[in-house]
Each structure stands twice: as structure tokens, then as C-alpha cells.
Amino acid sequence: MVMASLFISSSPSFTLSPKTYTKYQTAYFLKPFSIKASSTSVDQQPTISLADKQPFPFKANSWQWKFQDKFLTIYYEEHGKESPEPTKNILMLPSISDVSTVEEWRSVAGNIVQRVGKINWRAVIVDWPGLGYSDRPKLDYNVEVMEKFLTDFINAPDGPMKHSGKDLVVFGGGHAPTITLCAAKKGLLKLAAIAAVAPTWAGPLPIVFGRDSTMETRYRLLRDSLRTPGVGWMMYNMLVSNEKAIASQYRSHVYANPDKCDSSPRPGSNPRRNSSSFSQIWMGKVPALVVSTKSSPKRSKAVMQALRGGKGVSKFVEVPGALLPQEEYPTMIAEELYQFLQESFELYK
């Protein structure tokens, strides 16, 4: 999964295929859909494949984010049901990667919000600026930009999270929980709980090739090349954003089971990594779940395992999967997350 700083096209807002749904400024519901794939198990544990994704309806919309005197159209989805029980909000954040969109959380969201308990859960999934179905202007997509977006999205008086208050729960994959925790530590947002699924803070090149002084110089050279107009875009398409490259990513490290891979090109870009010490941003003041995966790349897994028993981590679990377990095994991840919600807000209250 590529998570480095890459050249961004100033292409117009992405519109989904009419065969699925059409993007409007106002809300609408998606018609049920199904995905067929083979089912398998890992280490004899109950798992779920893409074939088991449920056709949960959801409400889709867009929000206007003002940044540097420009308005970006941000795509998000709302998942929920009518219930007399008190409602709490979950914000689900995709991994920051060229293969990530709201789709990676869609089945997990539908699974959780349909459950009946003491709390009626509502989930919002949002595409980061520069990724998925949100606008992708040419920007320096660094951690500061993403942190600014996240805090604005959560705190905006006209945004979809405006009624969250201090009851906001965040589920994030990859870099997303890192950015969330950094913002919370600065007092920019308030959390009631957080779950980090296959979390990381490093980019793909350090994960694969290491991080000595020689390699860092090469990474900077590659970043600068990818930002070069024209040439950078051609390099990006050749190396990353094409069906063959995406299929290679899924088979090598995104999915644990390569037979489930969908190599369809996905719109996106990548902000560069934050070099803060990953283990030092865990706050310890709110329930925090870390979901590690058995088949993640060696260096990625080392980052996850460093959080086992760490300060501020209230629960640590390991599940089958690689870097997108929420997409590869959505029912299993939904079960772990819902159990975490029950333990944090229902069972002992």
C-alpha cells in the first residue's frame, strides 16, 4: 500500500459510475449491491470474505471544506437506523493510501449500526481530501493538511459530526488514527474512544527498504520527481495508479489472501508520513483498541506490535489479514469493534 508523498492531479471532482449511483450535493440512498468472491479461512479461525459483505443501504452526501481560500467537495456516507435508544457517533477514517476509499469501511459500518443494543450507533465514513471520491486539487498533502481537514470536519457547525460533542468515537486504518491522536493530543478535537486498525506512521519506502541517511536522500529525490508537472504524473500512473500496480500491492501486502484481490484502479493521492514517535501519541485518557494483523509486512507489523501493552492502549488484538483487514475481513473486524464499543460504553455502565 503506497503511503508516500506523491504528485497530485488537479482533476475535477470524481463522479461515480451511474451503474452504482450518481453523486449529488444532496443526500440519497444506495441501492443494495453484492460482491462475489471465494471464501476461505486463515489459521482455522472464523473469517469473512468479500462474498459475505452485506448490502446495507446508506445515505451519501458531500460537505464543502474551505482551505487556502478554495472550497473542496468532500464525500462522506452516513450509516444508521431509526431507534428510540440514545445515539452515539462513530467516525470511520480510511487508510491514507492510493487504494483506499470509503468502500473499505462500508460493510463494517453497516454491520455495526444494524445491531440492537443499549446504544443506537450512527457511523459516518469520509474520504480524505485528495483521496477516494473527494476533490483532488494539487496540494502539498502533508500531515498538517490532513490534521486541519480532520479537525474542521469534526468541529464544523455545519458538518455531519456537529452533534457529536464529547461522545465521538473514531475508527481509523493505517495513518488515520495517528493523525487523529496527534490532533486530540493538541486539544483540537475531543474523543470518547478510538480504535486503530492495522495502524502505522511510516511510509511505504521506509517500510520496505529501511530508513538510513542514504535511503532518506533517495526518498526525497523520488518525492520531488513525482511532484514535477507532467513527468511526475506519468511516473505516478506507471508506478502506482494502474491496474497492474494496484493488483501487485494487494497481492503483496494489502490483502493476506491474494485470491480476494480487486485490482480496479481507485482515485487517490498520498500525503507524506508524519515522523513523530508513533508510540508517544497514545493518550491513555480514553479507551483505545489496537487491531494488529497476522500477515502484515514485517516492518509494518513491528510498528503494530510495539503498541502491545503500551501506555494508553487499553486493548490489543491480532486478527487475520494484512493492511486492509476491514475490507478483507469486514465481519470479523465489525465483531471486534462492536465488542470494544460494548466494553467501553454498554456492559459496565
Sheet holding 120-126, edge to edge: 28-29, 59-67, 70-79, 120-126, 87-93, 169-174, 193-199, 288-293, 315-319
Pairing of strands 70-79, 120-126: antiparallel
pLDDT-derived band at 197 (thresholds 50, 70, 90) equals very high
Percent of the chain beyond pLDDT 70?
Answer: 60
What's the pLDDT band for 8 if we cut at 50, 70, 90?
A: very low
The predicted structure's pLDDT at residue 213: 60
Residue with the bigger pLDDT between 202 and 209: it is 202
Q: Are 88 and 122 in contact (CB under 8 A)?
A: yes
* pLDDT confidence tier of residue 4, bands split at 50, 70 and 90: very low
Q: Which amino acid would we find at residue 319?
A: V
pLDDT tens, residue by residue, 141-172:
888 999 999 999 999 999 999 888 778 999 99
Q: What sign for the dihedral angle of Cα 235, 322, 145, 143?
A: negative
What is the mean pLDDT of the segment spanning 262-266?
Answer: 44
**CA dihedral over 108, 110, 111, 112, signed as positive or negative:** positive
User: What pLDDT does 243 receive?
Assistant: 62
| Average pLDDT of span 77-92 | 92
> For 55-59, 99-103, 169-173, 247-251, which range has the lowest pLDDT when averaged over its residues?
247-251
**More reliable by pLDDT, 106 or 226:** 106
Task: Let me know: does 111 contact 117? Beta carbons within 8 Å.
Answer: no
Q: Which residue has the higher pLDDT, 50 or 119?
A: 119
DSSP secondary structure code for residue 87 in this structure: E
Residue 307 or residue 35, greater confidence:
307
Please give the residue that has the higher pLDDT: either 110 or 221.
110
Mean pLDDT of the chain: 74
Average pLDDT over residues 184-193: 92
Task: Select from 211, 63, 68 the least CA-distant residue to 140.
Answer: 68
C-alpha to C-alpha distance for 208 and 299, rounded to whole angstroms: 7
CATH class of 28-346: alpha beta
Instruction: Tell which residue, 204, 182, 326, 327, has the closest CA to residue 272.
Output: 204
CB 19 within 8 A of CB 74: no
249 backbone dihedrals φ, ψ, rounded to 5°: -60, -45
Q: Is the pTM of this model over 0.85?
A: no
Residues 274-297 have pLDDT tens digits of 333 455 666 667 999 999 999 988
CA-CA distance, 292 to 311, in Å (whole number)? Answer: 16
- Tell me, what's the pLDDT at 141? 84
Among 9-23, 84-98, 113-127, 313-327, the range scoring the smallest mean pLDDT is 9-23
User: What is the distance between the alpha carbons of residues 313 and 311, in angstroms, rounded to a whole number?
Assistant: 6
